[in-house]
């Protein structure tokens, strides 16, 4: 069995990215504050633009880095050969993994989601990656990232592969077996061949700067962007990190670290911080929310605060005459239609940006990140996306 997810799953449709970038002057700077797997950043570099991307999800940052960093395939091969020597060495079973061994919560998480045979093998590869990371230079580090992505591909999958779960790539992982005969070594080897093949077929172009960071507070100078293009999460959005943590715990992250990141994402299902000011006009634009339970009202208010903070950053970073393009999905929450696009529109207009274009397209089930059956609850959450373009 092989992993079923794409080597570089896209959160944004490539054709939308290309259309939004076509009028940015050559050499201009494009920023994607929530880049996902790097679709916008990749296309920007191919068009000769300076590209800067941020995401809070460490796996998204890793994928974006691999998809936008040139690296010689021979260097990847050499790094993998060295990793194999370490991981498959006869004395490597007892290699310490401090972020797991010293953390009972992370250890219990692993014991629940992974079989004994797979834990032994994943410990070997995880330990080998950590060991080799301390020995390599920058070019070799890029090669090691490719192997990290390949390892993630056999864990974050639709079908059950390296873990005991399925649907880990769809943010709804559920354990479907108590044991597995899946071979980690063979699965990683196949996965790496797929990723290397994709990189050889479409070699990355240099020029991207990739960071793990918060779209609501980016460490960039004022007026530094000719264009901003992103797809903000919608209220009650797909929780990518819920599945991604299954891989990230093997790449050096404790479960508590990942929980903190998840809880602070835009669209997180929690209340705003105490004392946070909720912009009433933005909340009202989401629709008639009176029937929502109190807990869900809090989620709405948290989302409003997040979108207002994002809009403030977009305004700060855009040069006069610069453009901001937002691709926003609408949704439903407890049966109530939530017009997330209207909240984004209102928040950016309150910052003084002028909306020059608004278009809506239906999302065919087969094109969604998680395909859905017509009429299902999830289908109602993911019916359309709105493309908004603003000028500073």
Which pair of tokens denotes residue 253?
């992250």
Q: 209, 219 in Cβ contact below 8 A?
A: no
> Mean pLDDT across the chain, nearest whole number?
87
Structural domains of the chain ordered from first start = 73-201 (no CATH), 274-391 (3.40.50.150)
Cα–Cα nearest to 246, from 158, 144, 150, 169: 169
Query: 225-230 and 318-329: which strand pairing?
Result: parallel
Q: Quick one: pLDDT at residue 177?
A: 95
- For residue 51, the 8-state DSSP code is E
Q: How far apart are CA 306 and CA 233, in angstroms?
A: 10
Report CA-CA distances (Å) from 50 to 109, 121, 209: 40, 40, 8
| Region of poorest pLDDT, from 59-63, 72-76, 150-154, 231-235 | 231-235
Coil, helix or strand for 154? coil
Q: Quick one: pLDDT at residue 99?
A: 97
Q: 277, 185 in Cβ contact below 8 A?
A: no
Is residue 336 classed exposed, middle or buried when 0-12, 13-18 and 19+ CB atoms within 10 A define those classes?
middle
Please state the rounded mean pLDDT for residues 380-387: 69
What percentage of the chain has pLDDT greater than the value 70? 89
Q: Quick one: pLDDT at residue 81?
A: 96
Q: How far apart are CA 348 and CA 323, in angstroms?
A: 12
Tokens 């009650």 identify what position? 236
Q: Quick one: pLDDT at residue 93?
A: 72
Please state the rounded mean pLDDT for residues 294-313: 90
Coil, helix or strand for 234? coil
Report CA-CA distances (Å) from 185 to 117, 140, 153, 182, 322: 11, 21, 13, 9, 49
Which pair of tokens denotes residue 66?
């691999």
CA 47 to chain centre: 23
Answer whether residue 144 shows pLDDT above 90.
yes
Answer whether residue 316 shows pLDDT above 90.
yes
Please state the rounded mean pLDDT for residues 320-329: 93
Q: 313, 215 in Cβ contact below 8 A?
A: yes
Q: How far apart are CA 57 and CA 62, in angstroms?
A: 9
Q: Quick one: pLDDT at residue 14?
A: 61
Q: Tens digits of per-residue pLDDT, 159-203?
A: 999 999 998 887 688 999 999 999 999 999 999 999 999 999 999
CA 97 to chain centre: 25
Please state the rounded mean pLDDT for residues 35-56: 93
Q: Identify the band that residue 364 occupies on the pLDDT scale cut at 50, 70 and 90.
A: low
Q: 310, 212 in Cβ contact below 8 A?
A: no
Q: Which range scores top for mean pLDDT: 111-115, 231-235, 303-307?
A: 111-115
- Name 204's Cβ contacts closer than 8 Å, sequence gap at least 6: 42, 45, 67, 68, 69, 70, 71
Answer whether residue 276 shows pLDDT above 90.
no
Q: How far apart are CA 368 and CA 366, in angstroms?
A: 6
Answer whether residue 1 shows pLDDT above 60.
no
């Amino acid at each position: 069995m092989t992993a079923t997810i794409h080597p570089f799953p896209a959160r944004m449709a490539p054709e939308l990215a290309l259309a939004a970038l076509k009028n940015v002057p050559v050499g201009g700077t494009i920023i994607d504050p929530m880049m996902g797997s790097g679709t916008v950043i990749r296309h920007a570099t191919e068009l000769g633009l300076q590209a800067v991307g941020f995401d809070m999800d460490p796996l998204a940052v890793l994928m974006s880095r691999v998809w936008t960093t040139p690296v010689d395939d021979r260097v990847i091969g050499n790094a993998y050969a060295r990793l194999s020597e370490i991981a498959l060495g006869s004395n490597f079973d007892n290699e310490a993994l401090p972020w797991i061994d010293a953390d009972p919560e992370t250890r219990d998480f692993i014991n629940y989601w992974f079989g004994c045979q797979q834990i032994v093998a994943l410990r070997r590869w995880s330990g080998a990656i950590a060991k080799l990371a301390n020995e390599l230079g920058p070019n070799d580090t890029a090669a090691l990232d490719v192997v990290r992505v390949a390892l993630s591909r056999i864990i974050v999958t639709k079908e059950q592969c390296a873990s005991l779960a399925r649907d880990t790539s769809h943010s709804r992982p559920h354990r479907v077996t108590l044991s597995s005969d899946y071979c980690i070594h063979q699965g990683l080897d196949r996965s790496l061949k797929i990723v290397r093949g994709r990189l050889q077929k479409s070699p990355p172009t240099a020029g991207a700067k990739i960071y793990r960071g918060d779209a609501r507070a980016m460490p960039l100078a004022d007026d530094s962007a000719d264009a901003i293009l992103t797809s903000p999460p919608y209220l009650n959005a797909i929780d990518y990190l819920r599945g991604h943590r299954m891989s990230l715990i093997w790449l050096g992250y404790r479960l508590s670290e990942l929980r903190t990141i998840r809880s602070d994402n835009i669209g997180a299902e929690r209340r705003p911080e105490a004392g946070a000011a909720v912009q009433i006009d933005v909340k009202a634009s989401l629709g008639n929310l009176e029937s929502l339970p109190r807990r869900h009202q809090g989620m709405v208010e948290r989302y409003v605060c997040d979108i207002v903070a994002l809009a403030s950053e977009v305004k700060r970073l855009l040069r006069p005459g610069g453009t901001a393009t937002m691709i926003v999905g609408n949704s439903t929450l407890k049966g109530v239609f939530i017009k997330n696009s209207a909240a984004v529109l209102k928040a950016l207009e309150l910052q003084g940006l002028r909306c020059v274009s608004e278009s809506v397209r239906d999302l065919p089930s087969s094109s969604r990140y998680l395909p859905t059956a017509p009429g299902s609850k999830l289908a109602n959450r993911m019916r359309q996306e709105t493309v908004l373009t603003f000028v500073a």
